[in-house]
Structure 1
Amino acid sequence: MMQLRDRVSAGLKDAMRNKQADRLSTLRLITAAIKDRDIATRAEGATEGATDADVLQILGKMVKQRQESARAYEEGGRLELAEKERNEILVLEEFLPRQLDEEEVEKAIAEAIAATGAESIRDMGKVMGALKAKYTGQMDFGSVGPQVKSQLG
């Protein structure tokens, strides 16, 4: 399977060829973020740069930032800027795996609790670690945390 960074790179080349300026600028931001992570990873002594899991994490963070910005722009009545953020989110999401629906998230949490043998709130870190290892980019861990807490509670 093609690595995520290769898919981003191919998308960048296509956007250049097709003169899609907005798409191109978003893809350049992704590429810059990946290069930053490569540099940071190598500085920590790793032999290779960012992994696919790192890239998924970067993309997820970028989507979240844009969702927050779009909300702020809408509240401020700056609809054209909110629309720009939403268009960037669409480009970013092309490279993310499909998001799990609520039912799938519930099932994934239950499976992670069973797999880690978690029994109390003290085991929350283990459960979150298991979920992140398997579902990075497929769920919003900010909203998953409280759900894990309630299932362990």
Structure 2
Amino acid sequence: MTLKTTITDAVKTAMKAKNMEQVKVLRNVQAAIKQIEIDNQQDLDDAQVLAILQKQIKQRQESLGIYTANGREDLAQKEQFEIDVIGQFLPEQLSDDELAKIVASTIEQLGAAGMKDMGRVMNAVKEKTAGQADPAVISGLVKKALTA
């Protein structure tokens, strides 16, 4: 079953349960997916849908940080709810230790020797960890490993 189908099924389940807040979040996600499909004139595969979900979560995390810093707990709770709803469709996240091992093995496999190889290493690690790690965290680990 594709990720898009899973999201559609989750919308139906939430509608039957009359959980309208969850329905609203999931429909927004579906709209974002559909918009990109229309813009690119192609059906998206699971990897592309996963990238959209990660982007949606990142946007909400940024908003959450702003709301929390400004003392708007009501809006922060709403953003956290949306993060939780969207997050249920992401694969389980890798721990920092697991991610560091993947980065180290990738650097060794590619024979990367410095910051000039950062792009190659990043692309390879992103492929191996699709949806299982935040690209910003990966970037930090790769920089640290390549400059050590």
Normalised by the shorter chain, which TM-score bucket? over 0.9
Give 2:95's match in structure 1, choosing from 90, 101, 107: 101
Partner of 1:49: 43
What whole-Å deviation, never above 9, does each CA across 1:64-101 have from its counterpart, x for those lacking one? Answer: 11111111111111101100100111111110000111
Distance, in Å, in 2 between the alignment partners of 1:23 and 1:117 is 46
Displacement of 1:28: 0.4
Distance, in Å, in 2 between the alignment partners of 1:118 and 1:36 is 38
Distance, in Å, in 2 between the alignment partners of 1:150 and 1:53 is 27
Partner of 1:35: 34
Displacement of 1:116: 2.3
Question: TM-score when scaled to structure 2?
Answer: 0.94
The letter for the 2-side match of 1:65 is: Q
Q: Does 1:125 align with 2:119?
A: yes
In the TM superposition, structure 1's runs of 4+ consecutive aligned residues that sit over 3 Å from their partners are none
Aligned residues: 147
Partner of 1:137: 131
The letter for the 2-side match of 1:100 is: L
Between the two proteins, what is the percent identity of the paired residues? Answer: 41
Displacement of 1:60: 0.7
The letter for the 2-side match of 1:130 is: A
* Matched ranges for 1:63-102 at <5 A: 63-102=57-96
RMSD, matched Cα: 1.1
What whole-Å deviation, never above 9, does each CA across 1:23-71 have from its counterpart, x for those lacking one? Answer: 00110011011111212332xxxxx411111111111111111111111
Distance, in Å, in 2 between the alignment partners of 1:116 and 1:134 is 13
Distance, in Å, in 2 between the alignment partners of 1:30 and 1:151 is 35
Distance, in Å, in 2 between the alignment partners of 1:49 and 1:18 is 29
Distance, in Å, in 1 between the alignment partners of 2:77 and 2:107 is 39
Distance, in Å, in 2 between the alignment partners of 1:60 and 1:115 is 27
Partner of 2:8: 9
Secondary structure of 2:32 counterpart: helix
Secondary structure of 2:132 counterpart: coil
Distance, in Å, in 1 between the alignment partners of 2:58 and 2:141 is 19
The letter for the 1-side match of 2:86 is: L
- Structure 1: runs of 5 or more not aligned: 43-47
Question: TM-score when scaled to structure 1?
Answer: 0.91
